[in-house]
Amino acid sequence: MEEVIIDPRAIVAREAALEAALRDSEARSAGKSRFLACLSHELRTPLNAIMGFADAMREEALGPLPQSYRGYAELIHESGELLLELLSDVLDMSRIEAERLELHPEVVDAREAATAVIRLMCMQIERAGLTFVTPEMRAPIPVRADRRALKQIALNLLSNAIKATPSGGRIFLSLHAEEDDLVLCVADTGRGIPPEDLNRLGRPFEQAGSLDQRAAGVGLGLSLVKALAGLHGGALSISSRPWEGTEVTVRLPVVVGDHTPPEPALTGPRAPNRL
């Protein structure tokens, strides 16, 4: 039998190289997170100033403005809000990757978070030429969760649906309790997601669809939703068919007390067919 000689020095050297590569990777990741956090913080200060001046112009605090300038002030403020949302997503994603994002759970009515986001997005939905459909949420849905995270989840899902749906389409949002689970579902009648892209979604900076669709964002929305759901002990699922629409469902085990929802009444036209 042929004798096999193993040089322990080669094994030790290989293990040392792997450990050094791991340390280097961790240091690079930590450096990236610090850079993103610093960048987000530094950009917020001038952005808040820009939005403040835009507000003063919209309210004509220093005197009347021509109609065209009022429109510019609206666009400046709206663009600032979008940039602040993007910065918040980047900062939160960097904190999640560094395991430094802290949730602040409290008992809240989940309807309040959903309603606040719907009010915020209604103008954008209308400008996009879309029809918004949601069941009337009559009974309170008490949950123990981070209020801001709930709003971020709903905001990102609605924002993605708006970007993916051509004018004339519909967006459907439902929110209800199933035993201990809070179930938030956002569906659209948009372009849908190709099967080969479904597995990639939910990772940071991963996007699906055509080049014009990818240009509409940076691919943080779903990854942030997935991460925030995971921090609550929940999960995200996506169902889609090309050119028929997409349905994204988030389940969070956060419902407190007994909750039996009444029979929903739709507000608006009939909801799109569930996928």
Task: Provide Rg for the chain, Cα atoms.
Answer: 23
What lies within 8 Å, CB to CB, of 170 at 6+ separation is 130, 131, 132, 133, 188, 189, 269, 271, 272
As a whole number of angstroms, the distance between CA 195 and CA 97 comes to: 27
Q: What is the pLDDT of residue 230?
A: 92
As a whole number of angstroms, the distance between CA 17 and CA 88 comes to: 37
pLDDT of 23-44, one tens digit each? 877 777 667 666 766 776 677 7
Q: What is the pLDDT of residue 8?
A: 76
pTM of the model: 0.66
What would the mean pLDDT of 75-81 be, rounded to a whole number?
79
56-87 core/surface letters (b: 16 or more CB in 10 A; e: else): ebbeeeeeeeeeeeeeebeebbeebeeebbbb
pLDDT above 50: residue 13: yes
Over the chain, what is the mean pLDDT? 79
Largest CA distance in the chain: 97
Query: Among 1.10.287.130, 4.10.410.60, 3.40.630.10, 2.70.98.70, what is the CATH number of 8-97?
Result: 1.10.287.130
- Contact between 130 and 165 (Cβ < 8 Å): yes
Which of these ranges, 7-21, 149-163, 209-223, 242-256, has the smallest mean pLDDT? 209-223
Q: Side chain identity at 170, as an amino acid letter?
A: R
pLDDT band at 169 (very low <50, low <70, confident <90, very high): very high
Domain 107-267 has CATH 3.30.565.10: yes
Stated as kind and residue range, the H or E segment containing 206 is none
- Contact between 246 and 187 (Cβ < 8 Å): yes
* Nearest to 157, CA basis, from 231, 96, 90, 217: 217
| Domain boundaries, given as residue ranges, for the chain | 8-97, 107-267
pLDDT above 90: residue 168: yes
